[in-house]
């Protein structure tokens, strides 16, 4: 009897799936969206193991009036279309349009994760990973008791800073692809072959 997925991966968007723009600028249109090297392949690898992938992304630019929720939804629809052309898919996208301290969904708060989990009843927090490139991603994962995978060029300093706050990252890598190949798949598949 199929009881649904036993594993789940949350992915931040900017800095994990697509390039961050310089100087903290927001990705507001598809023309500014650029998949990071290996990101699509990483998503395909996880799809191949039937691991649900949920994107959780802070989008404060909406509250600043730089783009609308409709603009963001169109960008995400185009992202899904381009992924599909390349044989990859994400199972859901949750975003926070608010500025700081206006809601319970903006990471490091946990509202987006809680909302997504309503679709996946019965998954143990120990079987959930958050892949992100920021302190807020890792702090949200800590609050939810999820595994923490940090990617990106700033990971060493972020790991150091988080350790000073008592937050230990489970794995860090330069990219989503490296994290998937070196940690996520071996970790998630071990239960089939280990012991």
- What CATH number should be reported for the domain holding residue 40? 3.40.50.1000
Residue 65 lies in a domain: yes
Domain count, the chain: 1
Cβ-contact 142, 136 below 8 angstroms: no
Residue 59 lies in a domain: yes
Residue 138 lies in a domain: yes
pLDDT at 7: 92
pLDDT one-digit tens code per residue, 88-114: 999 999 999 999 988 999 999 999 999
Q: Is 137 a catalytic residue?
A: no
- Residue 79 vs residues 107, 122, 146: alpha-carbon distances, Å: 22, 29, 26
pLDDT at 109: 97
> Angle CA(177)–CA(89)–CA(47) in degrees, nearest 5?
60
pLDDT one-digit tens code per residue, 122-172: 889 999 999 999 999 999 999 999 999 999 999 999 999 999 999 999 999
Residue 2 lies in a domain: no
pLDDT, average across residues 162-190: 94
Band of the pLDDT at 193, cuts 50, 70, 90?
low
Question: How far is residue 91's CA from residue 76's CA, in Å, rounded to a whole number?
Answer: 12
pLDDT one-digit tens code per residue, 48-75: 999 999 999 999 999 999 999 999 999 9
Out of 14, 127, 133, 137, which one is annotated catalytic? 14
Question: How far is residue 147's CA from residue 125's CA, in Å, rounded to a whole number?
Answer: 8
Q: Could you tell me the residue range of the domain that residue 174 belongs to?
A: 8-193
pLDDT at 19: 97
The residue among 115 and 5 whose pLDDT is bigger is 115
Length of the chain: 195
Q: Is 14 a catalytic residue?
A: yes
* 139: nearest Cα among 107, 115, 170: 107
pLDDT at 121: 81
pLDDT at 2: 42
Residue 143 lies in a domain: yes
End-to-end CA distance of the chain: 24
Residue 1 lies in a domain: no
Out of 2, 12, 34, 137, which one is annotated catalytic? 12
Is pLDDT of 195 > 90? Answer: no
Is pLDDT of 194 > 80? Answer: no
Residue 145 lies in a domain: yes
Band of the pLDDT at 11, cuts 50, 70, 90?
very high
pLDDT at 1: 33
Band of the pLDDT at 189, cuts 50, 70, 90?
confident
Is pLDDT of 190 > 90? Answer: no
% of the chain residues with pLDDT over 90? 89
Beta strands 8-11 and 53-58, pairing class: parallel
């Amino acid at each position: 009897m199929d009881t649904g997925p036993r594993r789940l991966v949350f992915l931040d968007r900017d800095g994990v799936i697509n390039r961050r723009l310089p100087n903290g600028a927001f990705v507001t249109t598809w023309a500014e969206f650029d998949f990071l090297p290996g990101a699509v392949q990483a998503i395909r690898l996880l799809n191949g193991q039937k691991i649900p992938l949920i994107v959780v992304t802070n989008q404060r630019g909406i509250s600043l009036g730089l783009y609308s929720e409709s603009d963001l939804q169109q960008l995400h629809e185009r992202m899904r279309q381009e992924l599909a052309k390349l044989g990859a898919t994400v199972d859901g996208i949750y975003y926070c349009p608010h500025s700081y301290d206006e809601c319970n969904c903006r990471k490091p708060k946990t509202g987006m994760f809680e909302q997504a989990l309503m679709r996946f009843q019965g998954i143990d927090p120990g079987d959930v990973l958050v892949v992100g490139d920021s302190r807020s991603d890792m702090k949200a994962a800590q609050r939810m008791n999820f595994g923490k995978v940090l990617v990106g060029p700033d990971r060493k300093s972020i790991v150091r800073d988080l350790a000073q706050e008592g937050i230990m990252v489970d794995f860090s890598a330069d990219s989503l692809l490296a994290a998937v190949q070196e940690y996520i798949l071996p970790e998630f598949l071990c239960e089939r072959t280990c012991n």
